[in-house]
Amino acid sequence: MEHLSVDHLVGIRDLTRQDIELIFKTADSFKEVINRPIKKVPSLRDITIANLFFENSTRTRLSFELAEKRLSADVVNFSASSSSVKKGETLIDTVNNILSMKVDMVVMRHPNPGAAKFLSERTNTRVINAGDGTHEHPTQGLLDAFSIRERLGSVEGKKVVIVGDILHSRVALSNIYTLQKLGAEVMVCGPTTLIPKYIHTLGIKVEHNLRRALEWCDVANMLRIQLERQDIQYFPSLREYSMQYGLNKEILDSLGKEIIVMHPGPINRGVEITSDVADSSQSIILQQVENGVAIRMAVIYLLAAKIGR
Ligand code: CP
């Protein structure tokens, strides 16, 4: 069996291209499994996984739980809002208490950048980062690139623009690392205030005009404005943002080519994307969600194979 070069999935930055290709190859098999009448394999019958969510989630939490159940793992769920974290318990105490119950793997979403790395260095369980603040969301980066590969045949050489709130987005950084490692050309597009100053160090293009970005790309990944992470006002109003950076059918149809439209969710219809674009044949938003389960099955399966090694 081929193995990942890492013991945890903290960020895409730590992965090699071979790791990503191995995850995709494994996800191809699991995608076939989840489309069968019996969607389950007995691979992880002796593994217990804890899903620790210190921040809200719909897609990622459900997707991980489904992936774990499809692999026949035992699953326990933890949500910070209904836990003793509210009574002042620290992250490491919470996690050590859960691990005392013989948990083999932890999937964690946390508001602080670096939380998954912190945990991976202080426990002897496998850790999967399900989003750490504004840092990384590695399984989202993987499922997005996997969805591009599925629709366009490969990622190598494709032009992908990520549009919107890059500054507060963990999805953007994980997408940039994944796409670059697979040989895609990457651009970010948005108002100057929402593009981080360090962006030029990543070797990607920056464009502030949405039409020019769309004319350049094969794929547009539209990000949500993360109002919950914005401490100051970064643009005059959502209406003005939408007029300059919102993707609508009129712009899409005027491009003279068929680009693919993506969105990691949750969508704010009418802000970064209109309903007719989100629901159009060019949108692969629901395929991204479907692929999320196969990708997470692959990551869990490959990391579980390293337990005890
Ligand atoms: N894409 C994503 O991370 O969605 P959730 O916040 O609902 O998990």
Average pLDDT over every residue of 83-87: 71
Catalytic status, residue 212: no
Q: For residues 234 and 39, give the distance between their C-alpha atoms in angstroms, rounded to a whole number.
A: 45
Residue 299 and residue 27: Cα distance in Å, rounded? 8
Distance 59 CA to ligand 1 centre (A): 5
The ligand 1 site (C-beta within 6 Å) comprises 57-60, 131, 137, 140, 264-266
| Cα 272 to ligand 1 centroid, rounded to whole Å | 16
Residues in the chain: 309
Neighbouring residues of 299: CB distance < 8 A, sequence distance ≥ 6 = 9, 23, 128, 139, 142
pTM value?
0.95
Q: Which atom of ligand 1 lies at the shortest distance from residue 63's CA?
A: 8
Residues 289 and 214: their CA atoms lie apart, in Å, by: 23
* pLDDT tens digits, one per residue of 9-53: 999 999 999 999 999 999 999 999 999 999 999 999 999 999 999
Residue indicated by tokens 């005890």: 308
Q: Please indicate whether residue 87 is annotated as part of the active site.
A: yes
Given a contact cutoff of 8 angstroms between Cβ atoms, the answer to whether 172 and 182 are in contact is no
Q: Which residues of 158-195 are buried (b: 16+ CB within 10 A; e: fewer)?
A: bbbbbbbbbbbbbbbbbbbbbbbbbebbbbbbbbeebb
What is the mean pLDDT of the segment spanning 274-294? 98
The C-alpha atoms of residue 48 and residue 76 are separated, in whole angstroms, by: 8
The whole-chain average pLDDT of the chain stands at 94
Rg (CA), the chain: 19
Q: Which of 13, 59, 159, 205 is catalytic?
A: 59
Domains of the chain: residue spans and CATH:
8-136+289-305 (3.40.50.1370), 138-285 (3.40.50.1370)
- pLDDT > 90: percent of the chain: 85
Answer yes or no: are the C-beta atoms of 168 and 134 closer than 8 Å: yes
**In the predicted structure, residue 309 carries a pLDDT above the cut 70:** no
